[in-house]
A and B are shown apart, each in its own frame.
Chain A
Amino acid sequence: DTGVSQDPRHKITKRGQNVTFRCDPISEHNRLYWYRQTLGQGPEFLTYFQNEAQLEKSRLLSDRFSAERPKGSFSTLEIQRTEQGDSAMYLCASSPGDRAPYYGYTFGSGTRLTVV
């Protein structure tokens, strides 16, 4: 296992278009998190999954955002009707469930979204 994988690395889209990002976590990790990071800031929590269940969503996750984790493996994050304010780095992390606070979190390389 080579760690957490994210695809694509970069995405440029026109305002109003829909985009979808994918995250493949470490295989034995049952928790998966999405974060958003704007320039010069630390990452901010968006949502997380325990297996296939989406258990919490941040207020940052407007109704234009939707995330799924079918079968508890990879996850997708879709943004509908993109706005310029959605331009950011979208980071995915995984962790070994309830042991997460003790074993830490592994992040992917991120997807850089630019909305023009």
Chain B
Amino acid sequence: KQEVTQIPAALSVPEGENLVLNCSFTDSAIYNLQWFRQDPGKGLTSLLLIQSSQREQTSGRLNASLDKSSGRSTLYIAASQPGDSATYLCAVPLMSAGNMLTFGGGTRLMVKP
């Protein structure tokens, strides 16, 4: 059974800091890993999708890396801004017929001005 864990559960940083969010998964047989952002009371917005054959993906100030063998992914946010305050979730699809996603519990980020 795939289990996904995110550390830390919450993070508070001053504006301008570079930060790293961690995601670990127990079964390394994955198709890909997807990072989402969730604002309070809202749905999920996809940030980055890393295929199992890739090591990293970049979008603007965001960089996600994937190490399948160790069951880890990191989301790096450069020069954080108050607008980055949100919950960040990682998820992997199961290697089953439905490929439904298994999510971590999320990291709640607050960037203080």
Tell me the chain B residues, 23-68 only, with Cβ under 8 Å from chain A: 31-32, 34, 36, 41-46, 49, 51
In the complex, number of A-B residue pairs with CB atoms less than 8 Å apart: 70
Closest to A34 in B: B100
Question: Are B106 and A45 within 8 A (Cβ)?
Answer: no
Closest to B30 in A: A101
Is A25 part of the binding interface, using a Cβ–Cβ cutoff of 8 Å?
no
Interfacial chain B residues near A65, Cβ < 8 Å: none
Question: Are A48 and B100 within 8 A (Cβ)?
Answer: yes
Closest to B93 in A: A101
Is B21 part of the binding interface, using a Cβ–Cβ cutoff of 8 Å?
no
Q: Tell me if B's interface is mostly helix, strand, loop or mixed.
A: strand
Shortest CB–CB separation between residue A75 and chain B, in angstroms? 15
Is A76 part of the binding interface, using a Cβ–Cβ cutoff of 8 Å?
no
We find that the number of chain B residues with CB closer than 8 angstroms to chain A is 27
**Separation of A112 and B41 alpha carbons in the complex (Å):** 8
Picked from B34, B49, B106, the residue with its CB within 8 Å of the CB of A42 is: B106
Interfacial chain A residues near B91, Cβ < 8 Å: 42
Chain B 63-107 per-residue mask, 1 if CB under 8 angstroms from chain A, else 0: 000000000000000000000000001010100011111111110
Question: Are A42 and B97 within 8 A (Cβ)?
Answer: no
Interfacial chain A residues near B46, Cβ < 8 Å: 104-107
Contact flag A110-B42 (CB < 8 Å), given A56-B97, A101-B32, A102-B51: yes
Question: Are B89 and A42 within 8 A (Cβ)?
Answer: yes
Picked from B6, B32, B45, the residue with its CB within 8 Å of the CB of A102 is: B32
**Separation of A102 and B53 alpha carbons in the complex (Å):** 11
Question: Are B31 and A101 within 8 A (Cβ)?
Answer: yes
Most chain B CB atoms below 10 A, which of A35, A56, A103, A104: A104
19 new A-B pairs (CB below 8 Å) besides A4-B43, A42-B104, A110-B43?
A: A6-B43, A41-B106, A42-B6, A42-B91, A45-B100, A45-B102, A48-B98, A91-B43, A93-B44, A93-B101, A101-B32, A101-B93, A103-B49, A104-B32, A105-B46, A105-B93, A107-B36, A107-B43, A109-B43
